[in-house]
Structure 1
Amino acid sequence: MMKHLKNSGLGIVIIITIGFYSCTGLGKMLKKEATVKYSVAPNPLEAHNDSVSVSITVNYPEKYFGKKVLLTVTPQCGTHQFKPVTLLGEKAIGTGSKIYKKTGGSYTYTDKVAYTKDMLDAELKLNAVGVVKKKTKEMPARMIGNGTVITPYLVKYDDKAIFGKDAFVKIVEKKIEGQTHFVISSTTYSPKKDVKGDDMKAAMDFMKAHHANPNMELKGMSVSAYASPDGESEGNTKLAADRFTKTQKDIQAMCKDKKTGYEAATKDEFYQKETIAEDWDGFQSAVSKSSIKDKDLILRVLSTYPDGAKREQEIKNMSATYEELAKDILPQLRRAVVTVNAIQHNRTDARILELARSTADSLSLEEILYAGTLTSDINEKLNFYKASEKMYASDWRTSNNVGGIYLMQNKLQDAKAAFNRAGGASANNPIIMNNQAIVMRWEGDRKSAKAQLDMSKSAGPEVMYNLGIIAIQDGVYADAVSNFGGSASFNAALAKVLSGDLDGAVSTIDKSSEKEDALSYYLKAVIAARKGNKEGVVSNLKTAIGKDPSLKQQAKTDVEFLKSREEIDFKSTVN
């Protein structure tokens, strides 16, 4: 009997409560809440530029909204609440949009909030509280959508650092020049201008020093013998040839010395012959560089008369000027130009690597930088670049390359310090600025990173790739696609997915060196889901999870696969 009375009492309370709220209009709204229609865009929600935007349109039917009701509606995804909005019955007092009882009405709500992890695999609900005068009623929460697609967060942090390139070359061509000079119309040397003179010292010393050097290959000697333009052409032709012979024979005689001689240079085939009977080109060059009084007039004669005899006659007609030419210009042209041609063979890769590991200080700057390219061991690279910085700190490449390795090791602060040292050695260097921008982005300052990269585009294509990563994070996917250009990479494919080019994304993945990566198959599963290809979702996820088991949990909560969650094959793949 007591139990019956208690139940009767509870029923009376419920009846009284509903009756009360019915009088206020809230009860009827509560009872017919299911007739309210909602549309959500996008649904599921999507994260872009670290934010989630939502647009909700609510349609209230006729004779639904209480005339005196003030309704506060608050969307919620996960534990994150969006801004509240207030709707008013036609007789309610307050600030908000009016909804009329007789005709009903609609309201479109928009908001944008920062994405938080609790919004990932969550329901989008509407919480509503109705108020009539001093009476308040909390409406049941209603699910109206899902959250949240976070595919942009698949972006790889594979920013492209740029290393300072070495200038090491394995073979270096050497050309060492000397000259002999002769008196007019003769093969007799001018005083101290023979093969033992100062003008020949560099060439002859080079041959003596290196003819037995296994790393220096002497290829031969070019001898170009000249006659000055004064005199008859036929005589000058023979004179130039005789001057070649004289110079060659005297060098050969010197190379027969038993102590310092060079056997190969005693052979005629060591020499390449060239003779110029009338050295008008040399004459023009010498006059142009001189301060001779009638220089312009002489040059005009040369340009006016192509015939050598006519030129000579016109110049000789300028008697005073000709005397100056005969004294200061023409003697320079009675010569033989000797060029020693050699090839320097620098250290082999094996030898450079050996020295870099043992005695790095025995290597030149270019060699130690080159050593860093000869090993795939990242720690060894770092050791080589550190050694280069210790020895050649004034060269920006050394500090810059140390920073590049630190980035590869995810040692951000060490990389930052190294790039700052490089910047101190070479201000406004676009390569260093690119690398500093990577640090800025990793520290979360995308705005400064982008500004820095925009000023660094001359550094190379790596800059545009790095801008592409920022464009993905900023949610400007068309820019990302443009920045990546023809790059066949995971991130380029991701940009195409986010911009709606699903087929282009698949093509890009298949062309990339990352096509067999677990994340590439995961992205293919996302593409399949967006295309409604259930088999593609499962097959690509199986491959991805087989390569990286951690992706199983990610797939479980990824809203990209929301429509596949009840599929048996999908469940067996992720569970």
Structure 2
Amino acid sequence: MAKIKSFVYSLFFLSIITFFAISCGGVKDMEEKASNIQYKVNPNPLELHKGKVTINVTVEIPGGYMNPDAIIEAQLIMTGLNEFKYKFEKVIVQGENIQDDYDVISFENGGSINFSEKIDYNDDMKVSELYAIIDIIYKGKTLALPPKKLADGVVITSEFINAGSMYDYSTFAKEEGFESSSNKAMKKARLKNKQLMAKTINAKVKVQKTVSEKASAYIYYEKNKYKIRNSELEKEDIKNLEEKIRTIYDIENRKIVSININSSTSPEGGERLNEDLVNNRGNAGKKFLSEIFKSAEIDDEIDGFYNEIKDRKGWSDTEFVAFLRKSEMSDKDAILGVLKMYNDPEVINKEIDNIVHIYKDELEEMVLPKLRRSLYEIVIETGGISDERISELSISNPNNLSKKQLIYAATLTSNLSEKKKIYKVCIEIYSDAWQSYNNLGNIYLLEDDLNKAEEMYNKAREKNSNEPIIANNLGVVALMKNNFEMAEKEFKNASGSGENSNYNLGLINLKKGNYAAASRYFGTTPSFNAALSKLLIGNPNTALTILNKLDGKNVGIFYYLKAILAVRTKDTDSMFKNDKDPLLGKYAKNDIEFGKFFEDDTFKTIVK
């Protein structure tokens, strides 16, 4: 800082010597009243956003100050590390008697001088000072007022997005089982080059472990009877059901899980009669099925699987309506219209009783016999191939696995080399396996082979051009190549592919300075950058809540952000507790976020 101040004040003393001869002249009051000039800086301290530092400074000249015959030349100068120096364009104003084209500051009312500029940030500006230089020109002579220091340093917390993306990516990689030495080396290189690391998406497949199927058949009864007729037993669906039962255990890992008997009656009988019929028809069905199980010598296997449905009314109004609708009755539309008028099941049942009485003959011919029935339903499950067997076959005989099983096999190992081998074999056998190309690209990306990863993603897109997962991953490649426009386009194309693509859009908006939009994209899933976005929109308490949900053990940047949040929430004890990482302690030494503690003895001990 000594060199910075030396440069600024040397300008001041040179101007004092020049003006000495007129110092007791008409602008003596302007020099003496210089302390009445007010300087407003917004924001203060200065802040870095979107790679630029915005400086808004207003110099307020009070009434009774401006000599009508004087000119003021005002300039801002920023000085920083490594002899960094940035001079802003001068702003010139004049008194009321000056005949020139500058803005006029009246003696009576005063006025203001405004500066507003965005300048590109570089690291030398982190430790910097912003000064206002005011020169008063009077009758051809120049008097320099003492330089006015306006601001110290630049808050660069928004730039934590880069380190934050690496922290979030590391968490993501661990969850996906992708953490490796090459992965860590890649992250270190990306961080050094200030590249953002977005989240890829693996294409996942579902391998059905258990296949469920049903074998069923209907038995129809005569009116008010429950005996199963021989003619019913000769029907094709009954014969198929018998065959299914006899061969259930011919296939390994196949078993019965339930036997359902669902009996019903037509509505014209009384409630008691119908209840007895339902029970008797269910019992007749159980006896019939038991005989088949016995002849197949599997009767000991099915005890406890029967699920007889007897707790229902003897017939169903919905079934009655369904069969009526399919019939060719001349008045069916009128009947359906009447039934549609009611919602109460009891009322509907009474109306059906009336309808059955009125249309007895037609209904007996076309509808009622279909309600006098039992449904036999056998639920069968076939166990799938085990994970161990899938893993074994993926190496020994991958041709015996389906495409989905091979893709799934790669998820059963945490070894990246083994994953790559399985995906490559899958592609050789199933050339349309876009999932394998996609997932192989993710592995190449972890190994920092960006070009090979992009090649795999493009091949995946050739196989499935509209897949949002692939769009997301190509967006990750574009972002790592600093092509933000293409990255944003691809991430938007990936809409609906899950929280990873939303996180990636959050990164884009955070980098662009759209902090509120970034916060919305990050959503409710805790992440470092979600916390950062909350801080940047002025919600440090919410940011702290998010960070507390993360596992930041041994991660310096995690504790560093917590220290900043402690400063913002005026929790000094927590600030000292979190800012103890040696490397980050040195970083904090020059971070204006901790400016109020620069002279604090405890802080000096931490950052020494």
Give TM-score, length-normalised by structure 2: 0.68
Could you say which residue in structure 1 is the equivalent of 2:298? 263
CA distance in 2, matches of 1:274, 1:20: 109
CA distance in 1, matches of 2:32, 2:481: 48
CA contact (8 A) 1:222 1:272 kept: yes
CA contact (8 A) 1:219 1:343 kept: yes
Could you say which residue in structure 2 is the equivalent of 1:187? 228
Distance 1:389 1:218, change over 3 A: same
Could you say which residue in structure 1 is the equivalent of 2:358? 314
CA contact (8 A) 2:45 2:153 kept: yes
CA contact (8 A) 1:464 1:483 kept: yes
Give the deviation of 1:262 after TM superposition. 4.1
CA contact (8 A) 1:149 1:558 kept: yes
Could you say which residue in structure 1 is the equivalent of 2:190? none
1:123 aligns with 2:158: no
1:512 aligns to what SS in structure 2?
A: coil
CA distance in 2, matches of 1:536, 1:343: 58
Distance 1:179 1:393, change over 3 A: farther
Alignment of 1:358-437 (within 5 A): 358-371=396-409, 373-378=411-416, 380-381=418-419, 401-402=439-440
Of stretches 144-153 and 362-371 in structure 1, the one that deviates more from structure 2 is 362-371
Could you say which residue in structure 2 is the equivalent of 1:523? 561
1:514 aligns with 2:519: no
CA contact (8 A) 1:165 1:397 kept: yes
Alignment of 1:29-428 (within 5 A): 39-58=40-59, 71=73, 73=75, 75-78=77-80, 79=84, 81=86, 83-90=88-95, 96-98=102-104, 106-125=112-131, 144-155=150-161, 156-157=164-165, 158=168, 159-180=198-219, 187-190=228-231, 194=233, 197-200=235-238, 202-224=240-262, 255=293, 261-264=296-299, 271-273=306-308, 282=319, 284-290=321-327, 293-296=330-333, 299=336, 306=350, 311-318=355-362, 325=366, 336-371=374-409, 373-378=411-416, 380-381=418-419, 401-402=439-440
Give the deviation of 1:150 after TM superposition. 0.6
**Which stretches in structure 2 are left out of the alignment for 5+ residues?**
1-12, 169-197, 341-347
Give the deviation of 1:339 after TM superposition. 1.5
Residue type matched to 2:592 in 1?
Answer: V
Residue type matched to 1:263 in 2?
Answer: I
Aligned residues: 542
1:513 aligns to what SS in structure 2?
A: coil
CA contact (8 A) 2:426 2:433 kept: no
CA distance in 1, matches of 2:214, 2:457: 39
CA contact (8 A) 1:32 1:64 kept: no
Give the deviation of 1:49 after TM superposition. 2.6
Residue type matched to 1:188 in 2?
Answer: R
Distance 1:558 1:390, change over 3 A: farther
CA distance in 2, matches of 1:49, 1:70: 34
CA contact (8 A) 1:430 1:457 kept: yes
CA distance in 1, matches of 2:301, 2:587: 79
CA distance in 1, matches of 2:358, 2:160: 82
Distance 1:63 1:241, change over 3 A: closer
Could you say which residue in structure 1 is the equivalent of 2:593? 560
Q: Answer with 1 or 2: which has the greater Rg.
A: 1
CA distance in 1, matches of 2:66, 2:315: 109
Per-residue displacement from partner, 1:117-171 (whole Å, max 9, x unpaired)?
3322333356799999999999998865333211011122234545455434544
CA distance in 1, matches of 2:335, 2:60: 98
Could you say which residue in structure 2 is the equivalent of 1:3? none
Residue type matched to 1:189 in 2?
Answer: N
Give the deviation of 1:54 after TM superposition. 0.7
CA distance in 1, matches of 2:542, 2:431: 46
How large is the RMSD of aligned CA atoms in angstroms? 5.3
CA distance in 2, matches of 1:527, 1:296: 72
CA contact (8 A) 1:305 1:311 kept: no
CA distance in 2, matches of 1:500, 1:142: 29
Of stretches 136-145 and 46-55 in structure 1, the one that deviates more from structure 2 is 136-145
